Structure 1
Amino acid sequence: MLDLKILTQALGDLEEDLVMEMLKEFTDTSPSEAEALEAVAACQAGMTIVGELFEQGEYFVGDLIFAGELLTEAINALKPALGGGASVVIGTILLGTVHGDLHDIGKNIFKSMSEAAGFEVIDLGIDVEVDTFVKKAQEIKPQIIGMSGVLTLAINSMKDTVEALKAANVSAKVIIGGNPVTKESSVFVGADAFTTNAAEGVKICQGLV
């Protein structure tokens, strides 16, 4: 039986071997998708610990990067239980961290989970210019455009991008995510949906297609 609290703490402590060992034992039991989502949530809670320790000066940028890589590794280990075997593409998501923001941990988690759910995800990376979003959206015609940001200034970049997409007659639904995102900021930006939780974001996207 997977102890979610121990898993959370292990990820928070950056104990890669313990995290991966626990997840291997867990996936060997053929868990349900709901149980796998609980494991994902426990891993995400571990990232909260990492963030707090970084703010307190206990962890450094290198630790943050390692934590993001560990989280991606953990999600990949859980993919089979999350329906990662999906061969039918249910929709395309164009994804990126908006102009002026260099954070990608949350974006990468969302990408991994979306792919596990059957989406094709085109990731533009970080600090994505407005024009880049517009041109790529016109080229691939995604059903959904996901914008991520951690800094407060990201909200204005999101708004600029949404306005440019609408001006270019791009009809994709827009979901925004990240720490500063609220219902109010979502309305300000002009997005169709918002989330601060990757698992919830995937469910929203499933509803949008």
Structure 2
Amino acid sequence: MPTPHGSRGGMAFSADELRVLRRALEAALQSSSTRPTPEDVQDCLRLAEAVEEASREGGRLRTFLFAELARYRAALPGSSAGYLERLRGALDTGYVPGPDDLAALRMLRAQPCGAIEQRRRLGLLHRCEQLAELDVRARLEARIPAPAGPVRPRLLALPGGRSGEPAKGKPGADPKRKVPTPGEIWPRRRPDSPPAPQDPPKPPPPEEEQRATG
């Protein structure tokens, strides 16, 4: 039966289990016309069940390690050495530090210790802060729904089409002319000009005047 190996979900297989895996891979790579023997099928089924059980055992082991980490964290500051060691191991298995871990690391950083240990604690604090920030960003991105389709930029129509020339208005219309004012619609009436002076009557010639008196 495979056994969990390490805290990262690894598994250790025996020689017989490796032979079963080799035969299963060979059967998968061969053509579909070649059918495995009943013995090979039974061996693959037993191995699959053993791998599933080993996976569950690895999950139980990680749960135990995380619970132990919480116990050491609750016993701080006296258990600082054991807590830091277990925290590094948990981070290697994919553990995401929480607010309690960040608060504990900040508290340990403020505790007096040697220069080398101070640098180790500071480096571990920075690592946990980065992992916690990445986890928060991932959860926020998962809550935001993705767009249904690709977002395309909106295109604005230019006057005149592709030529880029300004659009032509109606014939005879001045595009620069503004709205007419009331004075332009109803022009102001001009006063009537006075009548032109008439010329005085001319006197009759002398002959006509004598005839009139004679």
Tell me, yes or no, whether TM beats 0.5.
no
Relative contact order: is structure 1 or structure 2 higher (C-alpha 8 Å, sep ≥ 6)?
Answer: 1
Q: Which structure: larger Rg? A: 2
Q: Provide the TM-score with structure 2 as the length reference.
A: 0.25
Greater strand share, 1 or 2? 1
